[in-house]
């Protein structure tokens, strides 16, 4: 059969296993699985023939079993200082409940909306459990997000604030995680590292006691939106697959904002289909949320030009989107333009090459070949445009698959890319899978 759904499900299986085993770190198995993911997303875009013996229902069962097994075997509280017996038991109960409820939702999709709210409640409990047991994850992004929100709440500029270097320095006074001259002992010589939309969305969580509460809320709404992108059962399955991915919990614990971006994209697509008058709000937030979101511009332009509805109703308003993006950014840019550009852009180009990441540059480095790292990664989006010229797929699911190909190549060819980046790609694949339901509805 020729369909992109089985290829997308297979891509999620390979990516789920990859992230659970390697978390985006250098590993021979990671490269093998990444090759499998590339083949699957290409197969999905070109709708290659899929073996009929491996039907969609078998693949859905395979990916859910994979997710549940990996959830049950993932390291518990790996960043927590201490976990009591009662806390450990509560976690096991949570994993057991989400496993049972997911299985029930799969075999009784007709009752999905009776079961899915309970799955989200258990997911919420697991998220809150991780906040309680790991109140300060040992990673710089959490520290910077928290301090950035603190500065803003206290009327200070987060882009000129002082942030600690939690990783220490070597004998030369440099840090392995930052560029040369970017640290002075235990102090970072740059400000908040993400665009203002990222900062603003962390404020509610900070006021509630932890920036990760904001991340939980956005991904929760995103999961509900993902399950309702179409009336087809594939949208429900996409939400089930995403909520049970172990990488979801791993990214949440470490406060990776890529998790939020996946939620924002789900909300944006849902709003574009059901509430086009106000959809410019999540669309604007999405497009200026992280630096690499610049590569989402072609996707959203294509979604605007080729809406799926008849008569063709534009899914979002251009000028309100541009105005909102400007309003979000300008107040933070103007006080210190040079400092803002360095913190949000120049700093990222200055970050050192990471040979421990799951990238082609790391593989070539270990083989004695040094590649032009900053320039090479931009071949990813270029390849996506080239593929589009080979086959101009104007369906929304096709556009998301093509965008996934571009991002996978961009990260794989970069000088450093870990699990959070590849989880973002998994989120794009889940959205593409959900949107295939609209094509099924149109053909019905």
In a domain? residue 400 = no
443: exposed, middle or buried (Cβ count in 10 Å: 0-12, 13-18, 19+): exposed
Tokens of 194: 């993400």
Q: Name the β-bridge partners of 164.
A: 187
In a domain? residue 402 = no
- Average pLDDT for 122-131: 94
- Average pLDDT for 100-117: 92
DSSP string, 40-106: HHHHHHHT-B--TTS-HHHHHHHHHHHHHHHHHHSPTTTT-S---HHHHHHHHHHHHHHHHHHHHHH
pLDDT at 143 exceeding the cut of 70: yes
| Geometric angle at alpha carbon 28, from 23 and 32, rounded to 5° | 90
Q: Which of 136-145, 374-383, 389-398 has the lowest mean pLDDT?
A: 374-383
pLDDT (0 to 100) of residue 443: 45
- Average pLDDT for 30-53: 94
Is 76 or 8 the better-scoring residue by pLDDT?
A: 8
**Cα–Cα distance measured from residue 358 to residue 176, given in angstroms and rounded to the nearest whole number:** 17
In a domain? residue 403 = no
| Each residue's pLDDT tens digit, 292-340 | 999 999 999 999 998 876 556 789 999 999 999 999 999 999 999 999 9
* Spatial contact of 285 and 197, defined as CB atoms under 8 Å apart: yes
**Residue 78 banded pLDDT, cuts 50, 70, 90:** low
* Spatial contact of 194 and 369, defined as CB atoms under 8 Å apart: no
User: Model-level pTM greater than 0.75?
Assistant: yes
In a domain? residue 160 = yes
With CA atoms as reference, report the closest residue to 400 among 433, 372, 370: 433
* Spatial contact of 151 and 172, defined as CB atoms under 8 Å apart: no
Alpha carbons within 13 angstroms on the beta-carbon side of residue 105 total 30
In a domain? residue 121 = yes
pLDDT (0 to 100) of residue 348: 85
| Each residue's pLDDT tens digit, 23-34 | 999 999 999 999
pLDDT at 203 exceeding the cut of 70: yes
**Cα–Cα distance measured from residue 24 to residue 406, given in angstroms and rounded to the nearest whole number:** 17
pLDDT (0 to 100) of residue 168: 86
What's the domain count of the chain?
1
With CA atoms as reference, report the closest residue to 145 among 92, 197, 223: 197
pLDDT at 440 exceeding the cut of 60: no
Q: SS3 for 238-306, per residue?
A: HHHHHHCCHHHHHHHHCCCCHHHHHHHHHHHHHHHHHCCCCCHHHHHHHHCCCHHHHHHHHHHHHHHHC
With CA atoms as reference, report the closest residue to 408 among 425, 386, 428: 425
Instruction: Kindly report the average pLDDT of the chain as a whole number.
Output: 91
pLDDT (0 to 100) of residue 442: 53
In a domain? residue 401 = no
Q: Which domain holds residue 213?
A: 5-395+411-443
pLDDT at 117 exceeding the cut of 80: yes
Q: Which of 171-185, 190-204, 397-411 has the lowest mean pLDDT?
A: 171-185
CB count within 10 Å of CB 407 equals 23
pLDDT at 185 exceeding the cut of 70: yes
Cis peptide before 265 (omega within 30 of 0): no
Cβ contacts of residue 360 below 8 Å, gap of 6+? 371, 376, 412, 413
């Amino acid at each position: 059969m020729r369909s992109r759904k089985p290829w997308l499900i297979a891509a999620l299986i390979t990516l789920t296993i990859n992230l659970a085993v390697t978390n985006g770190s250098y590993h021979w198995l990671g490269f093998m699985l990444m090759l499998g993911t590339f083949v699957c997303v290409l197969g999905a875009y070109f709708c290659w023939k899929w073996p009929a013996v491996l039907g969609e229902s078998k693949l859905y069962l395979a990916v859910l079993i994979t997710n549940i097994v990996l959830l049950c075997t993932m390291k518990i509280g790996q960043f927590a200082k201490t976990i009591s017996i009662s806390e450990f038991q509560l976690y096991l109960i949570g994993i057991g409940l989400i496993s049972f409820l997911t299985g029930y939702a799969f075999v009784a999709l007709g009752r999905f909306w009776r079961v899915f709210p309970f799955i989200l409640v258990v997911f919420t409990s697991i998220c809150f459990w991780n906040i309680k047991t790991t109140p300060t994850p040992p990673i710089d992004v959490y520290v910077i997000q928290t301090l950035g929100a603190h500065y803003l709440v206290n009327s200070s500029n987060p882009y000129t604030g002082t942030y600690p270097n939690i990783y220490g320095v070597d004998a030369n006074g440099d840090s392995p995680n930052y560029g040369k001259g970017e640290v002075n002992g235990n102090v970072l010589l740059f400000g908040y590292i993400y665009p203002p939309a990222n900062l603003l969305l962390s404020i509610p969580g900070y006021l509630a006691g932890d920036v990760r509460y904001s991340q939980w809320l956005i991904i929760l709404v995103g999961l509900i939106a993902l399950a309702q992108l179409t009336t087809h059962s594939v949208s429900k399955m996409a939400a089930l697959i995403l909520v049970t991915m172990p990488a979801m919990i791993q990214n949440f614990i470490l406060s990776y904002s890529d998790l939020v971006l996946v939620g924002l994209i789900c909300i944006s697509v849902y709003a574009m289909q059901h509430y086009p008058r106000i959809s410019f709000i999540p669309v604007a937030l999405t497009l200026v949320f992280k630096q690499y979101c610049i590569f989402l511009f072609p996707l959203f332009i294509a979604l605007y030009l080729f809406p799926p509805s008849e008569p063709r109703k534009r899914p979002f308003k251009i000028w309100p989107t541009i105005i909102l993006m400007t309003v979000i950014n300008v107040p933070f840019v103007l006080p210190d333009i040079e400092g803002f550009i360095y913190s949000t852009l120049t700093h990222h180009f200055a970050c050192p090459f990471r040979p421990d990441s799951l990238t082609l540059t790391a593989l070539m480095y270990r083989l004695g070949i040094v590649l032009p790292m900053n320039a090479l990664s931009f071949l990813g989006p270029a390849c996506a445009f080239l593929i589009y010229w080979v086959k101009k797929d104007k369906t929304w699911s096709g556009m998301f698959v093509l965008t996934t190909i571009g991002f996978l190549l961009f990260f794989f060819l970069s000088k450093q890319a870990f699990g959070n980046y590849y989880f973002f790609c998994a989120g794009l694949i889940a959205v593409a899978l959900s949107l295939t339901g609209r094509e099924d509805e149109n053909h019905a």
